[in-house]
Amino acid sequence: MCVEVPSYHTPVLLQEVLSFLVTTTDGIYVDCTLGGGGHAHAIAERLTGKGRLIGIDRDEEAIVEARRRLARVSDRLTIVHGAFGDISGLLHGTGVDAVDGILLDLGVSSHQLDDPARGFSFQSDELLDMRMDRRQGTSAADVVNAYEEAHLVRVLWEFGEEREARRIVRSLLRARPITTTGQLAAAVRTVIKGPRSVKSLARVFQALRIEVNGELEQVQRCLQSVPGLLRLGGRVAVIAYHSLEDRFVKDFFREQASDRIPSGSRFLPDRPRTPELRLLTKKPVTASPDEVRMNARARSAKLRAAERV
């Protein structure tokens, strides 16, 4: 099969996703993170006229791009603008209650990162925004300017795993009001100097992005709906790009695949439960050196998959 490579975003672990996810060509599949439509296009191409792909994204620009790119497979495609945390309601709105496969390719697209107008990157100086869905009220500038010191420290510590969170936050408070990515980067560089600053900047920007878009909560809410939405034998595949998300996906899959519920006590026995999922990946699948050479973004990708039992 010849897969066209889009410039908006190059899909990561594409063949691996297809082989885990698509088990029946007449099935109903959900791509929760349409982005530039790379994975969606390849999935839709595998489906017959009886199959259906429902694509979700919370970013209006991604929706426009995916509609354009997926025009050739529009006969089997439904596109929905919304957040995957609401997956059950969004699917219900399309008349679907059970599906054969669900894909989440987490984080932001290359387009979102590269487009200076979105304010996700410290590589250019633009308005500090970072909202994936621009209908949403709170931007990264709101977070940086309004949160109390302890709250901001917690954001950088938990979502960026930034050890210098305290020093950085004090510098941010002194630099307020911060309205551009350049001002934010300069405030970080005031306390983290030299080559070390690049990693800190990446961590700070990542932490704010996760906070602004409620990313971990979205993943939690979506995964909790997954077992109830998958048909027997249906599959879920998740690609995570940072350790917090991957840990959450790993723990959730393990818990759902287990036949015991931990009692949490040394004295009480664990309770039995009927597993809802079977793990298809004991360890996460990562990109080959060739893929990483062609697409640096694939370097940190971890794919986990499970099947409804």
Ligand X SMILES: C[S@@+](CC[C@H](N)C(=O)[O-])C[C@H]1O[C@@H](n2cnc3c(N)ncnc32)[C@H](O)[C@@H]1O
Asked whether position 307 contacts ligand X by CB under 6 A, the answer is no
Give the contacts of 22 (CB within 8 A, at least 6 positions apart): 29, 43, 46, 47, 101
Specify burial of residue 207 (Cβ count, 10 A radius: 0-12, 13-18, 19+).
Answer: buried
37 binds ligand X (CB under 6 A): yes
DSSP secondary structure string, 126-192?
-B----SSTTSS--HHHHHHHS-HHHHHHHHHHHH--TTHHHHHHHHHHH-S--BHHHHHHHHHHHS
Quote the least distance from Cβ 63 to ligand X, whole Å.
9
Binding mask 170-209 for ligand X (x = CB under 6 A): ----------------------------------------
Using the rule CB under 6 A, is 35 a contact of ligand X? yes
Query: Rg of the chain over CA atoms, in angstroms?
Result: 20
Among 16, 59, 162, 211, which residue interacts with ligand X (rule: CB under 6 A)? 59
**In this structure, are residues 292 and 299 in contact, taking their beta carbons and an 8 Å threshold?**
yes
* Residue (35 or 160) nearer to ligand X, CB: 35
Contact with ligand X (CB under 6 A) among 18, 28, 36, 80: 36
Nearest residue (CB) to ligand X, 160 versus 168:
160
Evaluate the omega torsion of the peptide bond into residue 272 and state whether it is cis, within 30 degrees of 0. Answer: no
Least Cβ distance, residue 25 to ligand X (angstroms): 20
Considering the rule CB under 6 A, would residue 56 count as an interface residue with ligand X?
Answer: yes
Q: Which of 218, 225, 256, 295 binds ligand X (CB under 6 A)?
A: 218
**Collapsing DSSP states into helix, strand and coil, what is residue 238?**
strand
Closer residue to ligand X in complex, CB, 103/280:
103
CB 105 within 8 A of CB 9: no
Q: Which of 84, 120, 205, 252 binds ligand X (CB under 6 A)?
A: 84
CB of 27 to ligand X, least distance (A): 18
- Which of 18, 28, 62, 301 is in the footprint of ligand X by CB under 6 A? 62
Residue among 121 and 200 whose Cβ is closer to ligand X: 121
Sheet of 302-308: strand order equals 77-81, 52-57, 28-31, 99-105, 230-240, 302-308, 277-279
- Closest distance of CB 61 from ligand X, Å: 8
Identify residue 97 by its one-letter amino acid code.
D
- The Cα 1–Cα 283 span in angstroms is 27
Q: How many residues bind ligand X (CB under 6 A)?
A: 22
The answer to the question of residue 9 lying near ligand X (CB under 6 A) is yes
- Residue 58 in contact with ligand X, rule: CB under 6 A: yes
Q: For residue 24, how far is the Cα from the chain centroid?
A: 25
Which H or E element spans position 249? Answer: helix 243-257
Which amino acid, one-letter code, is at 255?
E
Please list every residue from 95 through 134 that binds ligand X, using CB under 6 A: 105, 107-109, 132
User: Which C-beta is closer to ligand X: that of 4 or that of 149?
Assistant: 4
Binding footprint of ligand X on the chain (CB under 6 A): 9, 11, 33, 35-39, 56-59, 62, 83-85, 105, 107-109, 132, 218
